[in-house]
Structure 1
């Protein structure tokens, strides 16, 4: 495959992703970014977690996670939990309000993607599905 074609594929994938993020940010009017929702999603799925573990799992730096978690705690979407056996260890946990926020963000994200993929024909969606399955199987 020509290098130019690979570049065009990557460039167009990035444009689609960036446009979805921009649309989601406009639609999801909660003064939260995608990274905040990713942190809440991690907490919802994994339960209370040490900030360093969250940062590692999401590919974020510890200072970035600290900044994100400050806002989540301030908005009462997450709480800090002190370890009973070692008070130096602090976990981050999700609140009921945080779970509701993640659920709503996921619903709105799904609606955006559904709207995007509805622009494709059934045949194009099947081709795209096969391409993504092949790429996922090769990793």
Structure 2
């Protein structure tokens, strides 16, 4: 790919991402960002988890996860649990209120995706998904 094209590609990707974030913030009026929802979704899907494992899985730094989890605990969307055998080990777990919020976020996210991705054919959506998976796999290795 020519150098000029790569910067155009990056710029286009940034524009779509920024658009999605702005629309998400307008729709989801809970004073939480996408990263908070990702943490809650991880807890919903995986059960109680060590913060270091959540950070690694989501590609976040431990201090970032600490900041995110602090707000989630403060809003009673998640709770901290000590390990039964080793009290030094702390887990983060989702609460019922957190589960309800993830459900709401997913419903509103569907609307956002529909508004944007319905402009693509089913084949184009599948191609885009395949491309992003391939890129994500390459940056994790």
TM-score, normalization by structure 2: 0.87
Larger Rg: 1
Structure 1 residue aligned with 2:75: 75
Distance 1:85 1:131, change over 3 A: closer
- 2:44 matches 1:47: no
Structure 2 residue aligned with 1:129: 126
Gaps of 5+ in 2: none
Shift of 1:137: 5.3
**What CA RMSD, in Å, does the superposition of the two structures yield over aligned residues?**
1.8
Distance 1:33 1:135, change over 3 A: closer
Structure 1 residue aligned with 2:62: 62
Distance 1:137 1:75, change over 3 A: closer
Deviations 1:8-54 (A, max 9, x none): 12210111011101110111000101110011011111110011111
Cα distance in 1, alignment partners of residues 105 and 7 from structure 2: 31
Shift of 1:119: 3.3
1:7 alignment partner, SS class: helix
Distance 1:135 1:23, change over 3 A: closer
TM-score, normalization by structure 1: 0.88
Cα distance in 1, alignment partners of residues 84 and 77 from structure 2: 22
Shift of 1:109: 1.3
| Count of residue correspondences | 136
Structure 2 residue aligned with 1:110: 110
